[in-house]
Amino acid sequence: MFTIKAVSQATGVSIETLRAWERRYRVVEPRRDPNGRRSYEPGDVIRLRKLREATERGHPISKLARVSDEELTGLLTAAAAGGAGDAASRNFAEQMLLAAERYRPDDCDQALSMALALLPLPAVVDEVLVPALLAVGERWHSGEFTVAQERIVSNAARKQVGLVLDTYNRIASGPPIVFVTLADERHELGILMCALLAAARGVRCQYLGADVPPADAAVFADRVGASAVVLSFVRRESSAAAEAHFAEFLKRLPRSIAVWIGGQGATAFSLAGLGERVALLGDYRALERAIDGLGATGR
């Protein structure tokens, strides 16, 4: 449960506006303790974030209040496909980089937290995290950023995305999907962004993290009843070892569970003879299509 102050910070809706929306339109109905203090469920937070975004796109709250969560999601998805959006809010990546330049981890956290509150999750991935992380990598390789400055941005990504995943998982009703990298693969930010996109589509994200032994990852996926496992392979220089880990993982994983792989290192894999359950995803949009297809197949 969340306080009204926490909800305001997470959604970008002021406390005064929240109270007005509840009083006039009953957009959400928080619980109240004996002293009258409000407490909100994770589903309330997600709905309020979508309502704020829809009002910024010009839709009156008086009409949105009667719209279901599914209709609201469809409305925002259509707007995003049409290229609508708040251009002013797309400078969060620059704010994160500036915070890293100045060695201010709290400012970096705050910039990403605000992006997650004010933007649809796919926009956070496309317009904030991907540009910021690419820029950080380039600056680190050129010597403009130290390891500590790189960690300011990557740690903010892990922390803030993890908080969002926890919130969304509390109300997720979609199929469970495991997100993991196998042994010796320590680059986890790509798989973390995949989980964020999946959460936006109602998936129950079982985020296992990086550098997990193949057998352990396979057992975990089986025990949690996963419909699919998403694996990321980034390191090209160790493709032989990565493919060996992948082969062991497939050997131990029940054949009923789909396996989706991505990343620069995965392009060197030979998928011949592995069947339809293994798919190479070229980008984040391919992941979204795979998730939608998983629901359609009833797995």
Mark 143-172 as b/e (b = at least 16 C-beta within 10 Å): eebeeebbebbbebbeebbeebbebbbebb
Distance CA 156, CA 49 (A): 21
d(CA 289, CA 277): 15
Domain identity same for 160 and 189: no
Q: What is the pLDDT of residues 219-274, one digit of tens each?
A: 999 999 999 999 999 876 667 888 889 999 999 999 999 999 998 888 777 776 77
Q: Which of 232, 237, 227, 222 is nearest to 190 (CA)?
A: 232
Q: Which of 20, 53, 81 is the last residue of a domain?
A: 81
Each residue's pLDDT tens digit, 106-126 = 999 988 988 887 778 888 888
Q: Same domain, yes or no, for 291 and 176?
A: yes
Co-location of 161 and 186 in the same domain: no
105 with 181, same domain? Answer: no
Nearest CA to 196 out of 160, 245, 240, 238 is that of 160
CATH no. for residue 201? Answer: 3.40.50.280
| Same-domain pairing of 158 and 236 | no
Which of 131, 150, 168 is at the close of a domain?
168
Which domain CATH number covers 46?
Answer: 1.10.1660.10
Domain harbouring 91, CATH code: 1.10.1240.10
Domain co-membership, 159 together with 122: yes
Angle formed by the axes of helices 239-252 and 214-223, nearest 10°? 40
Distance CA 114, CA 99 (A): 14
Looking at the structure, tell me whether residues 176 and 231 fall in a common domain: yes
Q: What is the pLDDT of residue 82?
A: 53
Each of the 299 residues of the chain gets a pLDDT tens digit; together they read 788 888 888 788 889 999 999 988 889 989 888 888 889 988 888 888 888 888 877 788 888 888 887 777 777 766 655 554 455 456 889 899 999 999 999 999 988 988 887 778 888 888 899 889 989 989 998 999 999 999 999 999 999 998 888 888 887 888 899 999 999 888 888 999 999 999 888 899 999 999 999 999 999 999 999 999 999 998 766 678 888 899 999 999 999 999 999 988 887 777 767 778 899 998 888 998 999 888 644 44
How many C-beta atoms lie closer than 10 Å to residue 179's C-beta? 27
- Overall number of domains in the chain: 3
Domain of 231 in residue numbering reads as 172-297
State pTM to two decimals. 0.70
Compute how many other C-beta atoms are within 10 angstroms of the C-beta atom of residue 221: 25
